[in-house]
Structure 1
Amino acid sequence: MQLVFQSVTQQPDLVAAPVYQQLKALAITDQVQVAPIDPAYADGDLLSQHYAIPFAAELNCLIVQGKRQATVKYAALVVPYGHKANTGGVTKHALDVSKVSFAPLADVLAQTQMELGSITPLGLPSTWHVLIDPSVFEQPTVVIGSGRLNSKVQLPTTILRQLLNVQVVAGLAK
């Protein structure tokens, strides 16, 4: 089965509200497409098998929390599907923190207004960092979460560079 992507402007209800707000603010809604999916197939392996999405076009977005003394920083780590995110020294250095751990799920869901299993670097709080492995940009277009479990977005990778607080971090994917 193939996904049928259409402009996010035609189906704004298929993305989380903060995602659509950021796309509108950046004036890029015409460049981002969305497709409904069965939430049972939202995971990368299942998504690829059921909807014929190539693994090379899929991205993972993980949310971490970095700390240095009383300062807490949140960051989205964006890596190609099938790769682990280097949450050690590479992430610590990029965020200038002494400790990195996965962010508490309840905090992530509350602050992003997104659903578990569909967190995306689109529409994150303005104080959050977005760290992206350079290999992400080897693909002209990618598929990533929409903030809602019942859909995926497809976008040119150049859009990722336009997001707030973006850093391209060599060695982020391992």
Structure 2
Amino acid sequence: MNPQAAAGNLELLPAAEHPDLLPDPVRAALPAGAWVAAIDPDLADTQALVEATGAPLDASANCVLVAGRRDGEERVAACVVLADTRADVNGAVRRALGVRKASFLPVERAVAESGMEFGGITPVGLPASWRLLVDTRVARADWVLIGSGLRRSKLVVRGADVAALPGAEVVDLHLPAPTTAP
């Protein structure tokens, strides 16, 4: 698959040549060969973007931020899953963090500490103190369409590059597909 296949009808540009479409932390951590596309900020939500651009849902990835506590210590993680699944926050993520309960990070805090805009948070350039949990399906993807850190653009990167980001841990994070009775 080529990067355009993950982007639908979005116009891809070499990300390194378009720093105006990326916040500082993302620019500093950008994987080689990444692409960026300008979008209407009203389409930052994955479902809206997929519907408007024809980008495949199973080639789009979402990054959610979660936190939990153990022995008085807070544990924060960014979790990256394909958009056609959900992160198993109460199972796989909670176990990976070693906490009894994991919750989504409040929006205000996620934005302030990541240096990114809500609706555009990406695993690229997150604080080094946060764990980065990448679902196995993302790691195996040829290319994924993900947030850029801003609501007005998206990145297209290789799944292997997401899995190779500093501190990334590849684990099964997605909820299992529902089973159907015979």
Count of residue correspondences: 168
Q: Write out per-residue CA displacement over residues 111-139 of structure 1, whole angstroms, 9 at most, x where no aligned residue.
A: 11100101111100001111111111342
Alignment-derived partner of residue 6 in structure 1? 13
Q: Look up the SS of the partner of 1:31 in the other structure.
A: coil
User: Higher mean Cα deviation, 141-150 or 104-113?
Assistant: 104-113
Q: How many Å separate the matches in 2 of 1:159 and 1:45?
A: 24
Assess if the C-alpha contact under 8 Å between 1:57 and 1:143 holds in 2.
yes
- Which amino acid is the alignment partner of residue 22 of structure 2? V
Assess if the C-alpha contact under 8 Å between 1:57 and 1:141 holds in 2.
yes
Q: Write out per-residue CA displacement over residues 130-150 of structure 1, whole angstroms, 9 at most, x where no aligned residue.
A: 111111134200100000000
Alignment-derived partner of residue 23 in structure 2? 16
Q: How many Å separate the matches in 2 of 1:136 and 1:9?
A: 22
Q: How many Å separate the matches in 1 of 2:132 and 2:17?
A: 27
Match of 1:127 among 126, 129, 141: 129
Alignment-derived partner of residue 173 in structure 1? 174
Residues 1:55 and 2:57 are matched in the alignment = yes
Q: How many Å separate the matches in 1 of 2:165 and 2:139?
A: 14
Stretches (4+) displaced over 4 A: none
Tell me how far 1:42 sits from its aligned partner. 1.6
Assess if the C-alpha contact under 8 Å between 2:38 and 2:154 holds in 1.
yes
Identity %: 36
- TM-score normalised by structure 2 residue count: 0.87
Q: Give matches, 1:77-156, under 5 Å.
A: 77-156=79-158
Structure 2: stretches of 5+ with no match in the other structure: 1-7, 176-182
Structure 1: stretches of 5+ with no match in the other structure: none
Alignment-derived partner of residue 68 in structure 2? 66
Q: Look up the SS of the partner of 2:102 in the other structure.
A: strand
Tell me how far 1:74 sits from its aligned partner. 1.0
Q: Write out per-residue CA displacement over residues 82-132 of structure 1, whole angstroms, 9 at most, x where no aligned residue.
A: 311111131122112222111121111111110010111110000111111
Tell me how far 1:69 sits from its aligned partner. 2.4
Assess if the C-alpha contact under 8 Å between 2:34 and 2:156 holds in 1.
yes
Q: How many Å separate the matches in 2 of 1:39 and 1:20?
A: 19
Q: How many Å separate the matches in 2 of 1:89 and 1:81?
A: 18
